[in-house]
Structure 1
């Protein structure tokens, strides 16, 4: 019974990855791609200071976005799971949180541009309130706008698994801790967070992998002034440098798999799937 699914994974996942790995060892010139077995793509990738900067930038985006989505996602999920008693209102509030995510990612991302622009709503409001004297340049086409867009696009991927895990927590455990004299922060730290670890890990995997593989958000929200690994791959493909793009993709894949492997060591995620 597993044969059809295994065949689909083989055709659409394993074989394409193998093809990318093979092409990553080919050699490319300005006008042609030569099937060969050379390591120059990986040598350039691992020794170039530009590539190192791009990878550091990618990790920076992933870490900051993860922290922001974790704080927002945990807060929203905690409120829905423990402060709204009726299941009906929990469902209603959860659906309200998910409504913005029913639109296109591109539309939600681009909608920040008129809000954060030099003459946008944010700057105009701050000037009218007397908070600032001139428009803030760093609101748009900066790392701030990139991370803001990332958080907006992917926060739901943190909310859903954490909320799902919190709903499985036996509320009698919280009541028992409260009867034993535990304070709110103690209950949160010693009861709720440990029991929510599977949801935290699932959300972390979703957010980190999505951010590290994204390229369009960085291109648009940074005004082409910044780059990450995804955009590096996109640029190589645009220049028909497929071996270089394949090598970068393989390194990115290995990096993401290592991160996922480290995260899976902290929790048995199979119990949640």
Structure 2
């Protein structure tokens, strides 16, 4: 048996798993997206009504815009926070034991479910919550701030809370692989701390940044539970459109929206992968 045949035999079990649990469901979603639906049933067909309604609705375009807005703002905030945390852990903490301990502290929120973490913000951000009460007591405001909860602010805050760790981990992993002699050489050459950060650390950290970006963007664009809870059902994203269609038994419309979302995410990932080769990090 030749080496190539042995390789195919070894890869066959994983290929079958991927085909059965990844490719086949996606193919079914694409097929169903062309079907028709009545108020109480769906029927096989090949029509573009679902896509025509999707791209012809002004409401849908606003929801798509809101989805990109949430993803962009969350990405920017998680990048700043994640890079800062990873930089501190990688370059300012010398003890590996302390690094591990602090890293575990960052994972503490993940010991509970996402819903519990979201609900915990409600008594803090509410009209009579801790934040408003403290600001009133300090004399900063005269009346409670209505936009702290059930708004875009609360949605983005929850996203940042939920997904910052997905930015911290790959950036930290990449920073730990940076040869410290490069930083010493730059410092000996007269480079300032900002120059070292800009010309040495950030370029060498790009693979980690891209991996974290892919994680955060894809998770935010597909998340609908966070938008529902933290906006009080007053905001929507593409994920919520899919959830609402499923609740109304409009599976073809939900499938069409899912196909568009999947295609959009794949395009975004494809664009990101053109900026850096992340295979070295995998």
Tell me the CA shift for residue 200 of structure 1. Answer: 0.1
The match for 1:50 is 59
Give me the whole-angstrom Cα distance separating, in 1, the residues matched to 2:66 and 2:12: 41
Q: In structure 2, how many angstroms separate the alpha carbons of the residues matched to 1:89 and 1:30? A: 59
- Paired with 2:89 and 2:120, the residues of 1 have a C-alpha distance of 27
TM-score, normalised to structure 1's length? Answer: 0.99
Comparing 223-232 with 24-33, which one deviates more in the overlay? 24-33
Could you say which residue in structure 1 is the equivalent of 2:3?
Answer: none
Deviation by residue 1:74-128 (Cα, 9 ceiling, x = unmatched): 0000000001111111111111111122211111111000000000000000001
- Asked whether 1:200 is paired with 2:173, we answer no
Asked if residue 41 in structure 1 is aligned to residue 50 in structure 2, the reply is yes
- Of 59, 62, 76, the residue aligned with 2:68 is 59
The residue number in structure 1 matching 2:17 is 8
Shift of 1:202: 0.2
In the alignment, what sits opposite 1:265?
274
Question: Tell me, what secondary structure is at the counterpart of 2:235?
Answer: coil
Alignment of 1:169-188 (within 5 A): 169-188=178-197
- How far apart are the structure 1 equivalents of 2:175 and 2:233? 40
Instruction: Note if 1:122 corresponds to 2:109.
Output: no
How many residues align structurally?
273
Three-state SS of the structure 1 residue aligned to 2:236 is coil
The answer to whether the aligner puts 1:216 opposite 2:225 as a matched pair is yes
- Cross-structure match for 1:251: 260
* Matching residue of 1:28: 37
Q: In structure 2, what is the Cα distance between the partners aligned to 1:52 and 1:205?
A: 23
Q: Quick one: distance in 1 between partners of 2:186 and 2:57?
A: 54
1:234 deviation in Å? 0.1
Structure 2 matches for 1:138-149, cutoff 5 A? 138-149=147-158
**Deviation by residue 1:218-242 (Cα, 9 ceiling, x = unmatched):** 0010011100000000000000000
Equivalents in 2 of 1:108, 1:31: separation in Å?
36
**Equivalence for 2:98:** 89
Tell me the residue number matched to 2:4: none
RMSD: 0.6
Gaps of 5+ in 2: 1-9
Deviation at 1:137, TM superposition (A): 0.2
Q: Deviations over 1:2-26 (max 9, x none)?
A: 1111111000000000000000000
Give the alignment partner of residue 89 of structure 2, picking from 70, 80, 85.
80
Deviations 1:42-96 (A, max 9, x none): 0110111011000000000000000000000000000000011111111111111
Runs of 4+ with deviation above 6 angstroms: none
